[in-house]
């Protein structure tokens, strides 16, 4: 009797459609564009992975999953798209890929689109959400243009919020980055009760007009660019590949409360980043400081 009364009260105060929208974001990969192990790397950071495939990590990507409706949307089509999409398809019963949201035109974020063509999945008018410069790039350069002309994909503008259903909304926003072929965006994914920020690539927080600490306070989860842990990590000037070091981001957010810091998850790790190892001193330092390190399979409830 109590259960019946509880269900009646829920249905009275909350629309049944919203109650049905059980959604979460799942991390499909955490590595920088070139993967982990990185192509052509003979060094210690990647050596063990050549012998133990279980240590390998997919390129950074996330999925928005509507569990009840058995549908999902992928953010960034990575070189590991086949593996990532298959994992989702088989883990969600009768699942449907509703579309792909792209952040920018660097190799780890859009090249997986090739698997949508007639040589592979041969999708029909799959929605690919982009900003104008990325739209022009895909329409005017092969092999991507063939996906458009053959109707494998249908390009959709994200300059305005995208309402996926009554409970889920996606908004894109511009971030400063090396925009050789397209603009670069981050995403805000919102349900009726929670919101998540996804920024896998950005130059430096100081180049952005938004205040990162305020962004943390305003949202429930933030998956932020963690490409490099600190300066000097690679054998070339790091100004050539500007990213906010994890150490810098922690300093910028140092005055937040413990609860606010716990909303931050670093992602998109270069193969040199010690955060790829849970045994590293740097990994321990991030956790002790109150922040999180993303991992494949991490699910964040919306």
DSSP state letters, 13-34: HS-HHHHT--EEEEEEE-B-TT
| Helix residue ranges, H only, the chain | 2-13, 16-19, 44-47, 81-91, 107-110, 132-140, 144-149, 212-218, 246-252, 258-261, 281-288
pLDDT band of 6, cuts 50, 70, 90 = very low
- pLDDT for the residue 7: 46
pLDDT for 68: 74
> Which range among 5-14, 194-203, 266-275 shows the weakest confidence by mean pLDDT?
5-14
Task: Identify the CA nearest to 196 among candidates 10, 34, 25, 75.
Answer: 25
Q: What is the CATH number of the domain that holds 69?
A: 3.60.15.10
On whether residue 61 sits in a domain, the answer given is yes
CA 134, CA 153: separation in Å to the nearest integer? 14
Based on the structure, what is the number of domains in the chain?
Answer: 1
What is the CB neighbour count within 10 angstroms for residue 163?
11
pLDDT, tens digit (0-9, with 9 covering 90-100), for 176-211: 999 999 999 999 999 999 999 999 999 999 999 999
Which residues, including other chains, have CB under 8 Å from residue 141's CB and lie 6 or more apart? none
* pLDDT at site 70: 79
Residue 12 falls inside a structural domain: no
pLDDT at 21: 62
Which pLDDT score, from 0 to 100, does residue 164 have? 95
Say what the pLDDT of residue 282 is: 97
Torsion of CA 210, 214, 219, 220, to 10 degrees: 130
pLDDT at 16 over 70: no
Assign 94 a pLDDT band (cuts: 50, 70, 90): low
Domain range spanning residue 219? 22-295
Whether 233 is covered by a domain: the verdict is yes
Q: Which of 95, 66, 92 is nearest to 189 (CA)?
A: 66
- Terminal-residue alpha carbon distance, the chain: 30
Q: Within a domain: residue 278?
A: yes
15 inside domain? no
Which pLDDT band, with edges at 50, 70 and 90, does 241 fall under? confident
Q: Which residue has the higher pLDDT, 230 or 253?
A: 253
Contact 201, 223 (CB under 8 A): no
Establish if 3 belongs to a structural domain.
no
Q: Within a domain: residue 93?
A: yes
Q: Is residue 8 part of a domain?
A: no
Beta-carbon-side half-sphere exposure of residue 95 (alpha carbons within 13 Å)? 20
Mean pLDDT of 93-122: 94
Q: Is the pLDDT score of 4 beyond 60? A: no
pLDDT of amino acid 231: 79
Percent of the chain predicted with pLDDT > 70: 92
DSSP H or E run through 296 = none
Of the segments 35-39, 233-237, 240-244, 294-298, which one has the largest average pLDDT value? 294-298
3-state secondary structure of 299: strand
């Amino acid at each position: 009797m109590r259960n019946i009364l509880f269900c009646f009260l829920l249905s009275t105060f909350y629309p049944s459609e919203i109650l049905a929208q059980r959604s979460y974001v799942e991390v499909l990969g955490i590595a920088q564009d070139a993967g982990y192990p990185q192509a052509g790397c003979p060094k210690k950071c990647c050596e063990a992975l050549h012998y133990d495939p279980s240590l390998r990590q997919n390129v950074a990507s996330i999925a928005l999953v509507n569990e009840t409706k058995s549908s999902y949307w992928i953010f960034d089509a990575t070189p590991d798209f086949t593996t990532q999409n298959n994992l989702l398809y088989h883990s969600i019963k009768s699942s449907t890929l509703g579309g792909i949201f792209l952040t920018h035109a660097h190799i780890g974020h859009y090249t997986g689109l090739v698997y949508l063509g007639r040589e592979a999945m041969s999708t029909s008018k799959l929605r690919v959400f982009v900003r104008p410069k990325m739209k022009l790039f895909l329409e005017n350069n092969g092999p991507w243009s063939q996906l458009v002309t053959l109707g494998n994909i249908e390009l959709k503008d994200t300059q305005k919020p995208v309402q996926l259903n009554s409970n889920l909304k996606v908004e894109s926003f511009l971030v400063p980055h090396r925009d050789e072929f397209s603009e670069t965006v981050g995403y805000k994914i919102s349900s009726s009760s929670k919101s998540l920020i996804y920024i896998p690539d950005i130059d430096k927080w100081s180049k952005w007009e938004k205040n990162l600490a305020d962004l943390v306070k305003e949202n429930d989860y933030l998956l932020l660019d963690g490409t490099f842990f600190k300066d000097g990590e690679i054998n070339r000037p790091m100004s050539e590949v500007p990213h906010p070091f994890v150490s810098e981001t922690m300093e910028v957010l140092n005055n937040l409360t413990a609860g606010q810091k716990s909303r931050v998850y670093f992602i998109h790790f270069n193969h040199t980043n010690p955060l790829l190892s849970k045994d590293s001193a740097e990994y321990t330092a991030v956790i002790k400081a109150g922040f999180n390190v993303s991992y494949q399979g991490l699910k964040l409830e919306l």
